[in-house]
Amino acid sequence: MKQVVLAILIATVPCIAGSLDLTIQNTGLAIGSVPRVNGIRINWSDSYFQCINGINLTLWKPDQTIERGQINGLALGLVAPSAKQINGIAIGVAGIVGNTRGINIAGLGMGGDRIAGLNIAGLGMGGGEITGVNIAGLGMGGDRVFGVNLALLGIGADDVSGLTFAGLGIGASQHLSGLTIAGLGAGGDNIRGIMIAGLGFGTKSFTGLGIAGLGMGGERLRGLTIGGLGVGGTTLSGVQAALLGVGGDQVNGLTLAGGGIEGRMLNGIKIAGYVRAKEQMNGLSIGLLNIAHALKGVQIGLINIAGNNPAPLKILPLVNVHLD
């Protein structure tokens, strides 16, 4: 009699391609490749499913790229939980594969078109768009990285914004904005915000506060820029300071240098050991040696050379002036 009852129970349990479905109207416990489950689903390797609401546990990596399927809740993988979309908490001993939103923790790495939330990977993280609090043991890369971004080695993307910290370097092929701190260097086409680099950074356009241990350079630098050794660019505007030198085609604003300041056009206040305007100096120049091909302003220093003054007044000690 017991054998007959057991046989009837087994016969009533749906089986799908090696799976054991113990759910009632898709609710309950399922083992294997059951496509829809509200509850707990345990599978060796995910290759096909539609929607899991609850807990999804996998023991191995997917047999192939999963192009559909959504997990809402807790996705656990001894190797790598995978789905087209994971909403909630995803934990993988090796990695996580798929679009994720929520809390995502991977022992090695994670990747997906869109990764959002609190994302932690032991080695690296890559995706089309990474947003939220993103922490990677080595590196991080994507088309767009937004939020609080921390990597021990480097971070690279087309666009990086928010609070970004990297032990070595940070690079953005297009835009880099927010508070950016790099142990060695950083670079991007367009940088805005606060940039701090242990060695240096380079850009086509910078606006904000920039501090570099050695130096910085770019086509256009605007704001407060401080270089341990030097600051250089095509056009500099705002306040520039360097221990050795500052140079550019056009240097505007307040410029301070322990060594020299040199440019084709110098506008504003320039203070250094040596100040040279290859074409014109407009404003106040203070240095041991001041040289201007054409001066419109005042030079103060030991030797002051104004090329557009008449012969007796071209070279003067202490002060030289040309105002028209």
The number of beta carbons lying within 10 Å of the beta carbon of residue 288 is 12
* 125 confidence band (pLDDT: 50, 70, 90): confident
Q: Which residues contact 134 (CB under 8 A, 6 or more apart)?
A: 115, 119, 125, 140, 145, 147, 148, 149, 150
Residue 131 lies in a domain: no
Task: Say if residue 245's pLDDT is above 90.
Answer: yes
What global pTM score does this model have? 0.78
The residue among 151 and 283 whose pLDDT is bigger is 283
Collapsed DSSP state (helix, strand, coil) of residue 5: helix
* Block residue for tokens 């899991």: 52
Q: What's the structural domain count of the chain?
A: 1
Give ∠ CA 152-84-22 in degrees, rounded to 5. Answer: 120
Decide if 159 is inside a domain: no
Q: In the block, which residue shows the tokens 């390797």?
A: 45
Write out the residue range of the structural domain in which residue 51 sits.
1-122
Nearest CA among 296, 286, 272, 291 for reference residue 318: 286
> Nearest 5°: phi and psi at 79?
-115, -70
Q: What is the mean pLDDT of residues 135-139?
A: 84
Residue 4, helix vs strand vs coil: helix
| Residue 148 domain-assigned (yes or no) | no
Cβ proximity of 222 and 203 under 8 Å: no
Strand partners, 209: 194, 224
Q: Is residue 238 part of a domain?
A: no
* 220 part of a folded domain: no
% of residues, the chain, pLDDT over 70: 92
Token digits of residue 322: 């040309």
18 assigned to some structural domain: yes
3-state DSSP call for residue 12? helix
26-60 tens-digit pLDDT: 888 888 888 889 988 888 877 677 888 989 888 88
Token readout for 28 is 């309950």
Which position has the token pair 């928010």? Answer: 162
pLDDT in tens, 64-105: 656 668 899 898 888 888 888 889 998 888 888 888 899 988
Does a structural domain hold residue 256? Answer: no
Within a domain: 254: no
